[in-house]
Amino acid sequence: MPTEYDEPFLPKGSRLFEILSVRIEHINKPDSFLSSESKVALYGTINARDDDGVEPIWTRSRQNPLLIRAGNTILLEGLSRPLYSQDRCNIELDLLVANGAEEELTFVNGFTLFDPRHGDKYGVAKRLFSGDLGSVQACYATFADALYASITIFPLDGDDDDSAVATNVYGTISATTRRGTSELFRQVSKHKSVTV
């Protein structure tokens, strides 16, 4: 049993992979499918694949597309597990345009592969995915010695009642590594809180 005088436990890192951002770089044919606010309606999937299988990062249906402009970043949905990079891993994008017609218009479809066994170096990288209708830039990082952590928030409403009660949450959650600090959540005012 550890005591307060024991040395701290330092976990051993793993080779991990993280998708940092996916940004709409360019829209090639704005007149054919843009809304009046110069936004394109995108749906489809962004997945990560490693030796443990496919992990969805972003999914939207045709009935619930994302309205987004060129230069904006797609808000990714998070992971249910770590992504490993000791062997090959990749990002897969299949983004389509919801234009109100029956036909499917492919915005961008493709993948990028990271494989350290074939000389790929660990670090931060960017990859441009181009299609007939536009382009998307994915920024990702591969780490030779990293840890995975998940954060769970349990809102306390002060009642003993187990019924579902909406709770307002505000504050910040950040992660710091030797590469810098990443902000994971930010709502700094109770007047601009998130309801959970």
pLDDT per residue over 144-190, tens digit each?
887 777 777 666 655 555 555 566 777 777 776 666 666 677 776 66
Query: Can you tell me whether residue 92 is helix, strand or coil?
Result: strand
Give strand pairing partners of 164: none
Q: Give Cα separations from 113 to 3, 51, 96, 157, 159 (angstroms).
A: 45, 13, 21, 45, 50
Q: Write down the mean pLDDT value for the chain.
A: 79
- At residue 128 the predicted structure's pLDDT band, cuts being 50, 70 and 90, is very high
Using CA atoms, how far apart are residues 178 and 104, in angstroms rounded to an integer? 44
- At residue 44 the predicted structure's pLDDT band, cuts being 50, 70 and 90, is very high
Best mean pLDDT range from 3-17, 37-51, 148-162: 37-51
| pLDDT given for residue 38 in this prediction | 74
Q: What domains can you pick out in the chain, each with its CATH number?
A: 15-146 (2.60.40), 154-196 (no CATH)
Query: Can you tell me whether residue 64 is helix, strand or coil?
Result: coil
| pLDDT given for residue 156 in this prediction | 60
pTM above 0.85, yes or no: no
Give strand pairing partners of 17: 83, 142
| pLDDT given for residue 104 in this prediction | 79
